[in-house]
Amino acid sequence: MIWKAWRNESMPLLALLVAVVGLVTVHMTVLFIGLFFWGLTLLASHLARRTLQHMTVTSHVVQAYAEIGQPVGAEMVIQNPLPWPILDVQWKIDLPQSLTPSGVGTTLMLPGGARQTLTGTLWVAARQRVRVQYRLTGLARGRWQIGPGALVFRDPLSWNELVREDRTGHELTVWPRRVPLPESFWSASRLFGPQKGKPWDSPDPLRVVGVRPYQPGDSVRHVAPYASARLRELMVKQLEPVTERTVEILLHPKTTDAHWHGVDIDLLEDAITAAASVAESAVLEGLAVGLASTGAVPGHIRGFSVTPRDRQDAGDLLTALAWLQPSGTMDDDLEHVLVTIDKRLRSGTLLVIVSPYWLDEFTERLEAKVRRGLRVMFLTSGERQHRLPDWVREVWHFDQGRWTRE
């Protein structure tokens, strides 16, 4: 917290001048008036210092993650433990333009640029705790900073204007959009994957990972007798198959031939939407999902890589994609990212490349891997591709929220 107090010095100077005039002219009434106002100024200064010292302000955001268009609750709590009121409290919170605020008694000011200010006015009575609630709606994916904030108020005598600034802030991550994948998207990948266990284990399951209610068509050999007796419902074992299916997603969101041509926002967001849709769907399919991308995220300026693991959390993948920003070094970053995931591209792994364009680097780096069993799928939101290697198994085109298989 940074504390600031500004006091109008005209009143104490005027009171001192009146007291001096009364003393020089031996007018007791004038002297007493000057001393009286001098005492009031001392009292006002004391009340202002006590108010700044003991007043507490806390802010809170209900959740740290949200979907595009999903309202998120936020609040500011002002507590006055003192036996006098705090007058005309004006609160201000700095917000990015990509967050739309709403709430009773709030006003939105647009100072220009990429930020805006949410403000409101209230009174805080003696020993009162006031809660200011508002809602924020994300209009675009990203990692958005809420704050800093400030309070501007007066002491009970209205002679001192005080400012309390709160430099602490909160972050709200808005996840990218996702669109449903076609029903046939994962059908071809179900038969592929590296073998787990011993060859003679197949097609028996490797281990039991849980139970679920019985459904028509389930084998009676998979009935879980103890779970069924305990739950008084027919339950079957949920089995982990011998075939382990791993999906690696490689996102290269380069939208123009050269970085000085700028960024095609529509192509960029479509590519990120496609990658997010595949990542979330793969997690729901129970696949081990890895994600790598060029560009920059906080802490990783040359791209990032998320190692695949069982029971992957889709939120981690969506958060990384929400924070992703294009950079002018993405072509150089691509080589770095491909080297990073090289050992993970094993036989049976499905590599999903998401990019507006197919690059020669993909062909040079992956051709030898494909001969050893790597499967490659290409997702694009750019122009129709005419020169793709023959070993690209499937090509999907994403345009305006629709998938088309080429």
Q: What is the DSSP string of 27-51?
A: -HHHHHHHHHHHHHHHHHHHHHHHH
User: What's the pLDDT at 244?
Assistant: 58
**pLDDT, tens digit (0-9, with 9 covering 90-100), for 82-114:** 898 888 888 888 899 899 898 877 787 776 667
CA dihedral 172, 177, 180, 186 (to 10 degrees): -80
Instruction: Please name the residue ranges forming H helices in 291-355.
Output: 314-323, 330-341
Q: Quick one: which of 269, 238, 236, 268 has its CA closest to 255?
A: 268
Give the list of residues 6+ apart from residue 349 with CB closer than 8 angstroms, or none. 193, 194, 246, 247, 248, 374, 375
Specify the pLDDT at position 115.
83
Residue the block writes with tokens 């051709």: 367
Count of CB atoms situated within 10 Å of the CB of 167 = 10
Q: Are 117 and 111 in contact (CB under 8 A)?
A: yes
Task: Give 142 or 32, the one with higher predicted confidence.
Answer: 142
List, in sequence order, the alpha helices (H) in 1-128.
10-24, 28-54
> What is the layout of strands, in order, in the sheet containing 71-80?
56-61, 71-80, 128-138, 99-102
- The winner for highest mean pLDDT among 21-25, 49-53, 322-326 is 322-326
The arithmetic mean of pLDDT across residues 310-339, rounded, is 87
pLDDT of 12 strictly over 90: no
What residues does 94 pair with on adjacent strands?
A: 117
Q: pLDDT above 70 covers what percent of the chain? A: 84
Q: Using only the alpha carbons of the chain, give its radius of gyration.
A: 32
Q: Does residue 352 or residue 244 have the better pLDDT?
A: 352
Name the more confident of 227 and 241: 227
CA distance 151 to 400: 45
Q: Confidence class of residue 354 from pLDDT cuts 50, 70 and 90?
A: very high
Closest CA to 48 of 7, 81, 9: 7
Identify the residue with better confidence: 14 or 109.
109
- Average pLDDT on 35-44 reads 74
Q: Is residue 120 scored above 80 in pLDDT?
A: yes
Distance CA 191, CA 242 (A): 11
